[in-house]
Structure 1
Amino acid sequence: MPTNRDSDASNVHEARSALGKRLRELRLQANMTGKQLAESLSWTASKVSKLENARQTPSDDDIRSWNRATGSEPETEALLASLHTLEVQHAEWRRVLRTGLRRRQEELIEGDQRTRLFRAFEATVIPGLLQTAGYARARFAEGARRMKLPDDIDEAVRKRIQRQEILYRSDKRFHFVLTEAALRFLLCEPEVMLGQLDRLVSFSQLPNVRLGVIGFGTRYATAPWHGFWLYDDERVLVETISAALDLRQPQEIELYANAFEQLATVASYGRSARAIINRAIEDLAQSLPQNGE
């Protein structure tokens, strides 16, 4: 079975392939061979082949030159949009986090201000906007170790908690869907997790927050492959171990929106969701040593 990273890399390759195929179509519509096009642009024939077969990503100038040579200038803006989407679609974490964990949180705050409807699905972790300081610290510490980042964890935690102020704004709406597994994975100290679960119960009662939990034993309508965030109907953010995918193509947004609705449909809400969280709290508390033991 393919991993999430395999799937993410495949998505990027497919986007590059689609761009190459469209360039080839424009060449054929102009009744030009690859050799003729290369000669008209003073390129090597191998460059035309690499661009069409997704072995090389074109530059802006390559796109403009290709369209001029094939008489397809009206296609230029659409192709440039596809190219730029490809460039931002897959950003390696080492590049994203090169200025530190704190700066990444500041960038997310900037994006939060522009968004009115937040939809988030998480299969394994508590969403950042709902994390306690202790849980957030554990998540940042793991990322810093894995990526060998500078230690600005304290500042990153402070910024993440600052982000949560947006939960109390009446002009914002939030819909979170979690699996029960996310409530039970011990990604921090048990005492920290108990505080995190208790905070979830509180957040679930905010007027503009809808919190759904998919309990064990639920029949899924769609598989919970990985977590993702939908920001209005403008973009989808998917975080993997190695990279952040920033997806903005309408067809991709629609695909993730449909997946979210199918996951949200089978989730429990209100008292039923809080009952699942409280069971996780009770089970975790019972597993801890009692005072005096």
Structure 2
Amino acid sequence: MAIEPDELDRSGRELAAVLQRLRKQAGLSGARLAARCNMSQSKISRIEGNKGRPSLLDVEQLLRGLGASPAVSAEVMAIARIAQTEWQDGRTLRRKGIDKKQLQLSGLEASTTTFRYFLLSMITGLLATPEYVRASLAQAPPEQQAKAVAMKLDRQRVLFDRSKQFTFILTEQAVRYPLVPPTELAMQIDRLVSIAHQPNIRLGVIPMGVHFASGALNTFTIYDESLATAELDLGAIVFRDSRDVQDLVRRFTVYAEHALFGERAREHLAEWADHCRR
């Protein structure tokens, strides 16, 4: 099902209003419903006020407590699933300040143990050299660039936390994308080779010519198995529904089966870096 960005914005408000209306139609106070669902009254209030994002399990509990019919439950659950998806458009992020996005990512990285990155077209900031980071932010407002570069580079410290496990899968297109001049790109690829030696990091590449059946590809990141983001040119989609996250986990597993890791990956990276130097 295609979900439009404005639909994502409306769905949270719509879900809150529908749940509040169903409670009033059932003649239940917030306290009564909370007792039926083994929830706190304050949580009910936050959900109905669209100040807290309910999980799908929360919504299922509320619908049981309300005695909703199967037809009504199916309709509300469809809204709830869309509400678990968040659209972050690039224009809004730039207007609020790139530093806000960097703080958000830093917090997410601090609370995550297992990371999976599928990189289709570019190298992610965690793996980037300072030159590559600066080039990736060239379109940002000039007054935000220096701070954003510093924050992106500072976030790279998370890679050295041995309690965290990272798997990066990069297509050859992502590795060789000419965002910077050839000599700087060679240094960027050298950094990938170096990072691939770290014991808590698996770095794989999918060379051109590797064939595997798949639909359209896009860059995405999975944080543990509780949240995932898909990067688009105009913004990012955040998935919290476990079914969406698990679908991306399965896709990532397929891509990993076609990727080269270890010495074979480093050999390809070294060859691509040498090509840049020539």
**Normalising by structure 1, what TM-score?**
0.72
> Which residue does 1:102 correspond to in 2?
99
**Alignment RMSD, CA only?**
3.1
- Looking at structure 1, the residues matched to 215 and 67 of structure 2 have their Cα atoms a distance apart, in angstroms, of 41
- Name the CA shift for 1:101/1:15 in 2 (closer, same or farther; >3 Å): closer
Q: 2:240 aligns with which of 216, 234, 248?
A: 248
- Post-superposition Cα deviations, 1:120-148, rounded to whole Å, max 9, x if no partner, equal 00111012210111101111113x2xxxx
Aligned residues of 1:237 and 1:245 also touching (Cα < 8 A)? yes
Aligned residues of 2:175 and 2:189 also touching (Cα < 8 A)? yes
- Post-superposition Cα deviations, 1:186-221, rounded to whole Å, max 9, x if no partner, equal 012222211111100100001100000011111224
- Read off the aligned partner of 2:192 and give its amino acid letter: L
Aligned residues of 1:116 and 1:173 also touching (Cα < 8 A)? yes
Confirm or deny that 1:141 pairs with 2:133.
no
> Which residue does 2:129 correspond to in 1?
132
Q: Any idea what SS the aligned residue of 2:225 has?
A: coil
- Post-superposition Cα deviations, 1:108-165, rounded to whole Å, max 9, x if no partner, equal 11110000000000111012210111101111113x2xxxx45311111111111111
Q: 2:254 aligns with which of 262, 265, 273?
A: 262
- Read off the aligned partner of 2:111 and give its amino acid letter: R
Q: Any idea what SS the aligned residue of 1:151 has?
A: helix
- Post-superposition Cα deviations, 1:29-78, rounded to whole Å, max 9, x if no partner, equal xxxxxxxxxxxxxxxxxxxxxx9xx9x97262343214543786256999
- Read off the aligned partner of 2:269 and give its amino acid letter: I
Confirm or deny that 1:180 pairs with 2:172.
yes
- Looking at structure 1, the residues matched to 241 and 96 of structure 2 have their Cα atoms a distance apart, in angstroms, of 27
Confirm or deny that 1:211 pairs with 2:192.
no
What is the CA-CA distance between 1:81 and the residue it aligns to?
10
> Which residue does 1:24 correspond to in 2?
none
> Which residue does 2:89 correspond to in 1?
92
Aligned residues of 1:101 and 1:140 also touching (Cα < 8 A)? no
The farther-off stretch of 170-179 and 218-227 is 218-227
Aligned residues of 2:186 and 2:274 also touching (Cα < 8 A)? no
- Looking at structure 2, the residues matched to 122 and 224 of structure 1 have their Cα atoms a distance apart, in angstroms, of 13
- Looking at structure 2, the residues matched to 125 and 140 of structure 1 have their Cα atoms a distance apart, in angstroms, of 13
> Which residue does 1:64 correspond to in 2?
20
What is the CA-CA distance between 1:15 and the residue it aligns to?
11
Q: 1:153 aligns with which of 140, 145, 151?
A: 145
> Which residue does 1:122 correspond to in 2?
119
What is the CA-CA distance between 1:241 and the residue it aligns to?
1.6
- Name the CA shift for 1:284/1:135 in 2 (closer, same or farther; >3 Å): same
**Normalising by structure 2, what TM-score?**
0.76
Aligned residues of 1:221 and 1:266 also touching (Cα < 8 A)? no
Aligned residues of 2:5 and 2:87 also touching (Cα < 8 A)? no
What is the CA-CA distance between 1:99 and the residue it aligns to?
2.5
- Post-superposition Cα deviations, 1:229-285, rounded to whole Å, max 9, x if no partner, equal 000001111121212101010110111000000001110011100111111111111
Confirm or deny that 1:167 pairs with 2:159.
yes
Q: Which ranges in structure 1 are unaligned for 5 or more consecutive residues?
A: 1-9, 18-50, 287-293
Q: Any idea what SS the aligned residue of 1:254 has?
A: helix
Q: How does 1:64-83 map to 2 (within 5 A)?
A: 64-66=20-22, 68-69=24-25, 73=66, 79=76, 82-83=79-80
- Post-superposition Cα deviations, 1:160-197, rounded to whole Å, max 9, x if no partner, equal 11111111111100000001111211012222211111
- Name the CA shift for 1:77/1:165 in 2 (closer, same or farther; >3 Å): farther
Aligned residues: 236
Aligned residues of 1:85 and 1:247 also touching (Cα < 8 A)? no
Q: Any idea what SS the aligned residue of 1:206 has?
A: coil
Aligned residues of 1:16 and 1:57 also touching (Cα < 8 A)? no
- Read off the aligned partner of 1:172 and give its amino acid letter: K
- Post-superposition Cα deviations, 1:81-130, rounded to whole Å, max 9, x if no partner, equal 95486275112122233321122112111110000000000111012210
> Which residue does 1:112 correspond to in 2?
109
- Name the CA shift for 1:175/1:114 in 2 (closer, same or farther; >3 Å): same
Identity of aligned residues (%): 28
